[in-house]
Amino acid sequence: MLLRTSITSPFGRKTRVAALRLDLMDRLEVVHGDTLDPKDPLRGDNPLGKIPVLILDDGRRVFDSRVILEYFDHLAGGGQILPADPDQRLDALRLQALADGLMDAAILVVYEVRYRPEDGRHQGWVDMQKDKMTRALKAMGEFLPAPDMVNVGTITVACALGYIDWRKQVDWRTINPSLAPWFEAFQKNVPEFAQTHPEG
């Protein structure tokens, strides 16, 4: 299988953490996907032009990160990072949705500066994205299981916190200090997280 992503994408990081954790790396070739280059094969693989996208040996293109994680879980025998128990599964998926939304807002804050000319930037819109981030971060404690629980939800939370640490859209440690010990413990428990650091 081929995984088209970038090393800096937090959504791509979800898929790389999961592949390492589930021991799937020997079945996976990771190649760079350039979201800006119209000639990059990415747009043929995913009409949305977003990374990550997984290309299966039978030619099927799989996106987005949520679906890729579900497929990886299936390849690893099921019930590994996507709990089999319906209640636990719902909680893990809900946490993933919250953390994915946090990353979506964080990325839009970065894109406002990266892609919009300075005289076209809209501070009110950036503030709206930062408000989403703040609300998600404040609420996150309610949804978080213990840091030794490794599932699609907790992997995504770690990728979101790591991304915000790196890009510094907001100071999540001040917004919700209780997330810091959880994040430290998760990193100790999941060495695959450090192995996928964007600067590593």
Ligand X SMILES: N[C@@H](CCC(=O)N[C@@H](CS)C(=O)NCC(=O)O)C(=O)O
| Residue 9 interacting with ligand X (CB under 6 A) | yes
Contact of 92 with 70, CB cutoff 8 Å: no
Binding mask 13-52 for ligand X (x = CB under 6 A): ----------------------x-------------xxxx
Return the number of the residue (43 or 189) whose C-beta is nearest ligand X.
43
Return the number of the residue (45 or 100) whose C-beta is nearest ligand X.
100
| Residue 72 interacting with ligand X (CB under 6 A) | no
Of residues 45, 73, 91, 100, which one binds ligand X by CB under 6 A?
Answer: 100
Taking the complex as a whole, the smallest distance from the CB of residue 129 to ligand X amounts, in Å, to 13
Dist. CA 164–CA 103, nearest whole Å: 8
Dist. CA 150–CA 156, nearest whole Å: 10
Return the number of the residue (91 or 100) whose C-beta is nearest ligand X.
100
Of residues 18, 21, 54, 64, which one binds ligand X by CB under 6 A?
Answer: 64
Return the number of the residue (36 or 123) whose C-beta is nearest ligand X.
36
| Residue 198 interacting with ligand X (CB under 6 A) | no
Count of residues that interact with ligand X, criterion CB under 6 A: 13
Taking the complex as a whole, the smallest distance from the CB of residue 181 to ligand X amounts, in Å, to 27
| Residue 80 interacting with ligand X (CB under 6 A) | no
DSSP per-residue string spanning the chain: -EEEE-TT-HHHHHHHHHHHHTT-GGG-EEEE--TT-TTSTHHHH-TT--S-EEE-TTS-EE-SHHHHHHHHHHHTTSSSSS-SSHHHHHHHHHHHHHHHHHHHHHHHHHHHHHHS-GGG--HHHHHHHHHHHHHHHHHHHHH---TT--SHHHHHHHHHHHHHHHH-SS-HHHH-TTHHHHHHHHHHH-HHHHHT-TT-
- Binding residues for ligand X (CB under 6 A): 9-11, 35, 49-52, 64-66, 100, 107
